[in-house]
Amino acid sequence: MDFCPPGGESWRDMGERIASVVESLRDGGSKRAILVSHGAPIRFGIAQLMDASGQNWGSFQAQFDNASVSLLRYDAGAWEAVFTNYLPYLNARQKTS
Q: Where are the domains of the chain?
A: 11-96
What pLDDT shows up at residue 97?
46
Q: What is the Cα Rg of the chain in Å?
A: 15
Beta bridge partners of 78: 75
Q: Backbone dihedral region of 96: left (phi > 0), alpha (psi from -120 to 50 degrees) or beta? A: alpha
What pLDDT shows up at residue 77?
76
pLDDT tens digits for range 39-54: 888 888 887 777 655 5
Query: pLDDT 10s per residue in the chain (97 long)?
Result: 788 889 888 888 888 888 888 888 777 776 777 888 888 888 888 877 776 555 555 556 677 887 888 888 888 877 788 888 888 877 665 554 4
What pLDDT shows up at residue 56?
53
